[in-house]
């Protein structure tokens, strides 16, 4: 018996190669599109710059606040640290300060160099307010309503010194006495509807005043005479 030769045919698959021409063409389109978009964006920015330049005359000046010394971060800005200069409006940012009062009392968030323009974004809010700045060292400023006193306090002025006496209604004279001495008047009443004095007290005087009020003691403010009167 003759052996026949059998040829086993394999299934042939078409071979493919990357179409690099098409890939390059697609990428070229993408790059061209990106270049066009960037050119448009750049043109808009240049247009805005020249529009701003045209609005401002070359010789226009503005007042700006500058640091007269190096200022460390966290420093409270004082008047002596600042100066005002007239400079070209193009040399300072739009947010620049024009008056010292806009910076005085605020603290520096970042270090400022001598001659540097002071900008609001480099400053924190004011440290304390009017009362805090006037309250004497070692004292506590307390708001005391005017109606706490059995008689209207005498005509006071800021800086006057008063004595505060207390007495229990219907009590004996031995229960009457001064609970605060040498109390400085920090601020006079400003609100007519609910007038109140701002007095500077030490901690014990403040507690004594609170105790007297909570126990319905009657309070009286006496103006201390100035020396020589």
Q: Which DSSP symbol is given to 99?
A: S
The angle formed by the CA atoms of residues 144, 156 and 194, to the nearest 5 degrees, is 35
- Report the pLDDT value the prediction gives residue 123, as an integer from 0 to 100: 87
Question: Which residues of the chain fall below pLDDT 70?
Answer: 1-24, 50-59, 125-130, 133, 171-175, 226-229
- Per the CB < 8 A criterion, the answer to whether 222 and 185 are in contact is no
Burial 170-189 (b: 16+ CB within 10 A, else e): eeeeeeeeebbeebbbbbbb
CA–CA dist 177, 160 (Å, integer): 21
Phi, psi of 55, deg, nearest 5: -70, -25
- Report the pLDDT value the prediction gives residue 174, as an integer from 0 to 100: 66
- Report the pLDDT value the prediction gives residue 205, as an integer from 0 to 100: 92
pTM: 0.43
- Report the pLDDT value the prediction gives residue 106, as an integer from 0 to 100: 85
- Report the pLDDT value the prediction gives residue 113, as an integer from 0 to 100: 92
* pLDDT tens profile 146-156: 999 988 888 88
Residue with tokens 């060292």: 137
- Report the pLDDT value the prediction gives residue 229, as an integer from 0 to 100: 46
* pLDDT tens profile 155-169: 888 889 999 999 887
* Count of other CB atoms within 10 angstroms of residue 161: 15
* Count of other CB atoms within 10 angstroms of residue 110: 13
CA–CA dist 153, 134 (Å, integer): 21
Q: How far is CA 14 from CA 8, 11, 19, 108, in A?
A: 19, 10, 15, 74
DSSP 202-214: -HHHHHHHHHHHH
β-pairing, 217-223 vs 196-201, is: unpaired
Query: DSSP E strands: which ranges in the chain?
Result: 61-67, 82-88, 106-108, 123-126, 140-145, 161-168, 177-187, 196-201, 217-223
**Among candidates 157, 165, 167, 225, which has minimal Cα distance to 197?**
157
């Amino acid at each position: 018996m003759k052996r026949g030769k059998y040829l086993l045919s394999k299934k042939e698959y078409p071979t493919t190669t990357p179409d690099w021409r098409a890939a390059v063409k697609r990428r070229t389109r993408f790059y061209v599109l990106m270049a066009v978009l960037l050119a448009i964006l750049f043109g808009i920015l240049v247009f805005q710059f020249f529009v701003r330049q045209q609005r401002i005359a070359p010789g226009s000046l503005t007042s700006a606040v500058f640091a007269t010394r190096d200022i460390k971060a966290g420093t409270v800005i004082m008047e002596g640290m600042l100066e005002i200069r007239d400079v070209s409006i193009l040399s300072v940012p739009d947010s620049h300060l024009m008056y010292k009062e806009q910076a005085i009392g605020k603290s520096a968030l970042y270090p400022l160099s001598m001659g540097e323009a002071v900008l609001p974004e480099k400053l924190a809010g004011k440290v304390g307010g009017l009362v805090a700045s006037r309250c004497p060292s070692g004292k506590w400023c307390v708001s005391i309503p005017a109606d706490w006193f059995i008689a209207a306090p005498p005509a006071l002025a800021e800086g006057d010194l008063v004595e505060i006496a207390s007495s229990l209604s219907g009590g004996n004279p031995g229960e009457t006495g001064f609970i605060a001495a040498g109390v400085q008047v920090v601020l006079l009443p400003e609100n007519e509807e609910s007038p109140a004095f701002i007095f500077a007290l030490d901690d014990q005087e403040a507690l004594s005043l609170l105790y007297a009020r909570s126990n319905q003691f009657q309070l009286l403010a006496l103006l201390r005479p100035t020396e020589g009167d």
